[in-house]
Structure 1
Amino acid sequence: MAEKVQYTEDSIKSLDWREHIRLRPGMYIGKLGDGSAQDDGIYVLVKEVVDNSIDEHMMGYGRTIDIKISEHRVEIRDYGRGIPLGKVIDCVSKINTGGKYDSGAFQKSVGLNGVGTKAVNALSEYFKVQSYRDGETKVAEFEKGVLIEDKKIDKSSERNGTKIIFSPDPTVFKNYHFIPEYLENQIWNYAFLNAGLTINFNGKKFFSEKGLFDLLMRKVDEDSIRYPVIHLKGNDIEMALTHSNQYGEEYYSFVNGQFTTQGGTHLAAFREALVKTLREFYKKDFDASDVRQSVVGAIAVRVQEPVFESQTKTKLGSQTVGPDGPTLRTFVNDFVKTELDNYLHKNPAVADALLKRILQSERERKEISGIKKLANERAKKANLHNKKLRDCRVHYDDPKGDDEMKNKTMLFITEGDSASGSITKSRDVQTQAVFSLRGKPLNCYGMTKKVVYENEEFNLLQHALNIEDGIEGLRYRKIVIATDADVDGMHIRLLIMTYFLQFFPDLVKNGHLFILDTPLFRVRNKKETIYCYTDEERQRAIHKLGKSAEITRFKGLGEISPEEFGTFIGEDIRLDPIILSKETKIADLLNFYMGKNTPDRQNFIIDNLKIEKDIVFDDPAQQTEVEAA
Structure 2
Amino acid sequence: MEEEELEVNLPLEDYSDDDIKTLDWQEHIRRRPGMYIGKLGDGSSPDDGIYVLLKEVLDNSIDEYMMGFGKTIEVKIENGEVSVRDHGRGVPLGKVKDVSSRMNTGAKYDSKAFKKSVGLNGVGIKAVNALSSYFKIQAFRDKQTAIVEYSKAIVTSESQIIPTEEGNGTSVEFIPDKTVFGEYLYQDEYVESLLKNYSYLNTGLTIVYNGKKFHSKNGLADLLNENMTSDPLYPIIHLKDTDIEVVITHTNQYGEEYYSFVNGQHTTQGGTHQSAFRETVGRVIKEYYNKNFDYADIRSGIVAAISIKVEEPVFESQTKTKLGSKDMGPGGPSVQKFIGDFIKKELDNFLHKDSETSDSLLRKILESEKERKAIAGVTKLARERAKKANLHNKKLRDCRLHYNDTKGNNLDDTSIFITEGDSASGSITKSRDPNLQAVFSLRGKPLNSFGLTKKIVYENEEFNLLQAALNIEDGLDGLRYNKVIIATDADTDGMHIRLLLLTFFLQFFPDLIKKNHVYILQTPLFRVRNKKETIYCYTEEERIAAIGKLGANPEITRFKGLGEISPDEFKHFIGKDIRLDKVTMKKEDLVKEMLNFYMGKNTPERQVFIIDNLIPVED
What TM-score, normalized by structure 1, do the two folds share? 0.94
Matched, 1:606 2:614: no
Match of 2:601 in 1: 596
Q: Is structure 2 residue 397 aligned with structure 1 residue 390?
A: yes
2:496 aligns with: 491
Q: Deviations over 1:427-470 (max 9, x none)?
A: 11111111111111111111111111111111111111110100
From 522, 536, 539, the equivalent of 1:534 is 539
Q: Is 1:363 paired with 2:370? A: yes
The equivalent residue for 1:293 is: 300
Q: Contact 1:394–1:405 (CA<8 Å) still a contact in 2?
A: no
Cα drift, residue 177 of structure 1 = 3.1
**Where does residue 482 of structure 1 map in the other structure?**
487
2:515 is the counterpart of 1:507? no
Structure 2 distance, partners of 1:435, 1:108, is 45
Q: Which amino acid aligns with 2:594?
A: L
The whole-number CA distance in structure 2 between the counterparts of 1:143 and 1:534 is 38
Tell me which residue corresponds to 1:61.
69
Match of 1:237 in 2: 244
Report the Cα distance in structure 1 between the residues aligned to 2:302 and 2:328, rounded to whole angstroms: 26
> After the TM superposition, which residues 80-229 of structure 1 pair with which residues of structure 2 at under 5 Å, given as runs?
80-221=88-229, 224-229=231-236
Whether 2:590 is the aligned partner of 1:585: answer: yes
* Equivalent pair of 1:101/1:112 in contact (CA under 8 Å): no
Q: CA deviation at 1:569?
A: 1.4
Match of 2:271 in 1: 264
How big is each residue's C-alpha offset from its partner over 1:185-218, in whole Å with a ceiling of 9 and x where there is no partner? 2111100000110011122111111111111111
- The letter of the residue matching 1:564 is E
Provide the C-alpha distance between the structure 2 equivalents of 1:296 and 1:588, rounded to a whole number of angstroms. Answer: 19
| 1:394-473 to 2 correspondences below 5 Å | 394-399=401-406, 401-402=407-408, 404-473=409-478
Measure the CA separation in 2 of the matches of 1:42 and 1:515: 23
- The alpha-carbon distance between structure 1 residues 30 and 321, as it changes in their structure 2 partners (threshold 3 A), is same
Q: Does 1:339 align with 2:339?
A: no
* 1:565-621 deviation digits (Å, cap 9, x = unpaired): 212211122211111111111111111111113432121011122337xxxxxxxxx
Residue identity opposite 1:75 in structure 2: S
- C-alpha deviation, 1:426, in angstroms: 1.4
Specify the alignment match of 1:618 in structure 2: none
Q: Deviations over 1:450-509 (max 9, x none)?
A: 111111111111111110100011011111111112221111111111111110001111
Q: Are 1:73 and 2:78 matched, yes or no?
A: no
CA–CA distance in structure 1, aligned partners of residues 90 and 529 of structure 2:
55
Among candidates 246, 253, 275, match of residue 246 of structure 1? 253
Q: Indicate conservation of the 8 Å contact 1:139/1:150, yes or no.
A: yes
The number of equivalent residue pairs is 611
Compute the displacement of 1:238 (Å): 0.7
Partner of residue 4 from structure 1, selected from 1, 10, 24 = 10
Secondary structure of 2:327's aligned partner: coil
RMSD over aligned CA atoms reads 1.7
- Distance in 1 between the 2:175 and 2:51 partners? 12
Distance, in Å, in 2 between the alignment partners of 1:137 and 1:525 is 61
Give the stretch that moved more between structures: 446-455 or 590-599: 590-599
- AA partner of residue 25 (structure 2): W
Please give the per-residue CA displacement for 1:292-348, whole angstroms capped at 9, x wherever unaligned: 110000111111111111111111111111212111111111110111111111111
One-letter code aligned to 2:480 = R
- Secondary structure of 1:444's counterpart equals coil
Uncovered stretches (5+) of structure 2, i.e. residues with no partner: none
- Structure 2 CA distance, aligned partners of 1:211 and 1:498? 32
Q: For residue 173 of structure 1, report the CA deviation from its aligned partner.
A: 2.9
Separation (CA, whole Å) in 1 of partners of 2:83 and 2:541: 31
1:36, distance to aligned residue in structure 2 (A): 3.2
Q: Is the 8 A contact 1:511 1:577 kept in 2?
A: yes
CA distance in structure 2 between the partners assigned to 1:512 and 1:89 by the alignment: 41
Over 3 Å counting, the alpha-carbon distance change for 1:154 and 1:559 in structure 2 is farther
Q: 1:552 to 1:138 in 2, by over 3 A?
A: farther
- Call closer, same or farther: CA 1:278–1:122 in 2, change over 3 Å: same
Q: 2:320 aligns with which of 281, 294, 313?
A: 313
Letter in 2 for 1:507: L
Amino acid at match of 1:363: K
SS of the residue corresponding to residue 531 of structure 1 reads: strand
Residue in 2 that maps onto 1:374: 381
Equivalent-residue separation in structure 2 for 1:599 and 1:503 (angstroms) = 27
Are the counterparts in 2 of residues 36 and 577 from structure 1 also a CA contact under 8 Å?
Answer: no
Cα drift, residue 391 of structure 1 = 1.0
Secondary structure, counterpart of 2:29 in structure 1: helix
Q: Report SS of the residue matched to 1:228.
A: coil
Which residue identity lines up with residue 181 of structure 1 in the other structure? E
% identity of equivalent residues: 64
Q: What's the CA shift for 1:355?
A: 0.7
Give CA deviations for 1:38-89 in whole Å, capped at 9, x if unaligned: 2222222221111111111101111111112345232221111222222223
Amino acid at match of 2:493: D
Q: Which runs of 4+ in 1 moved over 4 A?
A: none
SS in 1 for 2:148: strand
SS class of match (2:109): coil
1:562 is the counterpart of 2:570: no
Structure 2 counterpart of 1:546: 551
Provide, for residues 238-282 of structure 1, a one-character-per-residue CA deviation record: whole Å limited to 9, x for no partner.
110000000000001111111111111111111111111111111
Contact 1:195 1:210 in 2 (8 A): yes
User: 2: CA distance between counterparts of 1:121 and 1:513?
Assistant: 34
Q: What is the SS of the residue equivalent to 1:572? A: coil
* Change in 2 beyond 3 A, CA 1:469/1:101: same
- For residues 266 and 207 of structure 1, the distance between their equivalents in structure 2, rounded to whole angstroms, comes to 26
Distance 1:73 1:420 in 2: 43
Residues 487 and 167 (structure 1), Cα distance of their counterparts in 2 relative to 1, 3 Å cut: farther
1:376 Cα deviation after fit: 0.8
**Which stretch of the first structure deviates more once superposed, 11-20 or 467-476?**
11-20
Tell me the SS of whatever aligns to 2:389: helix
For normalisation by structure 2, the TM-score amounts to: 0.95
Q: Secondary structure at the match of 1:430?
A: coil
- Partner secondary structure for residue 172 of structure 1: helix
